[in-house]
Amino acid sequence: ETGVTQSPTHLIKTRGQQVTLRCSSQSGHNTVSWYQQALGQGPQFIFQYYREEENGRGNFPPRFSGLQFPNYSSELNVNALELDDSALYLCASSSLGATSGETQYFGPGTRLLVL
Amino acid sequence: DQQVKQNSPSLSVQEGRISILNCDYTNSMFDYFLWYKKYPAEGPTFLISISSIKDKNEDGRFTVFLNKSAKHLSLHIVPSQPGDSAVYFCAANPTNFGNEKLTFGTGTRLTIIP
């Protein structure tokens, strides 16, 4: 059973650029959630994808967008990067329909620095 | 608006003693509460959870207590071990959402002193 993987591990971009982060979900999981963790803060929910459709969104602007593929892997795209987008981006996979949150498995994250 | 609050950014406890981490929430719609543990360069890992219909849940050295009227929960670790040194996040799951759309607190860094 493979765990949740994310790529790249680190990334440096400049303001105004676009970035794509990738996540491979755990085998057997059909749902991917993305979170942003700014320095000194807890993870903040960005959005969730279930069977290739967005299934809920947090308080993030439309320049944060995502995709989920038939194999349930996922991408997070951020356009027009701002300095405040510098954060650790975490993805978590799970099986929707589970009754409790402990079925959510997090990847190690991608650390994005916007200069 | 911070709906889940962990007011202690850090806590140091002697090995073998009890560690108590606290969490407060403001949203009455939260129905399920979880604690996650995070080591550096790793993602959060699930530790223990509690449903709002219970006031206590125990798993080995870890016990979570929920006081719904006070909107407060706590995680007790006893006895504390050096491997427990990590950042602990409290998280909540709202009832009118689907699963896994968690609201996290800001975390408490626990250091166990050998």
- Closest Cα partner for B65 from B99, B21, B103? B21
pLDDT in tens, B59-68: 999 999 999 9
**C-alpha span between B104 and B106 (Å, rounded):** 7
Mean pLDDT over A48-67 rounds to 92
CB-CB under 8 Å, A100 with B101:
no
Output the pLDDT for position A13. Answer: 97
The predicted pLDDT at position A49 comes to: 92
Highest-confidence range of A27-31, A54-58, B100-104, B110-114, by mean pLDDT? B110-114
Cβ distance B1 to B92 under 8 Å?
no
Question: Pairing state of beta strands B10-14 and B108-113?
Answer: parallel
Confidence tier at A101 by pLDDT (50, 70, 90): low
Q: How would you label B80-95 residue by residue, b for 16+ Cβ within 10 Å and e otherwise?
A: beeebbbbbbbbbbbe
- Going along chain A, which residue ranges are E strands? 5-7, 10-13, 19-24, 31-37, 44-50, 53-57, 64-68, 74-78, 87-94, 105-106, 110-114
> Looking at chain A from residue 76 to 105, which residues have their Cβ under 8 Å from any Cβ of chain B?
90, 92, 94, 96-105
How many angstroms separate the CA atoms of A33 and A22, rounded? 12
Q: Indicate the residue type of B68.
A: K
**pLDDT (mean) for A14-19:** 98
Residue type, A29: H
Residue of A55, A99, A100 best to disrupt the B interface, most CBs of B under 10 A: A100
Chain A residue with the nearest C-alpha to that of B35: A102
Mean pLDDT of A75-103: 85
Is pLDDT at A19 greater than 60 in this prediction? yes
With a CB cutoff of 8 Å and minimum separation 6, the contacts of A104 are: A33, A92, A93, A94, B46, B99, B100, B102
Contact: B98, A104; criterion CB under 8 Å: no
Task: Show the low-confidence residues of chain B (pLDDT under 70).
Answer: 95-100
Of A32 and A101, more confident: A32
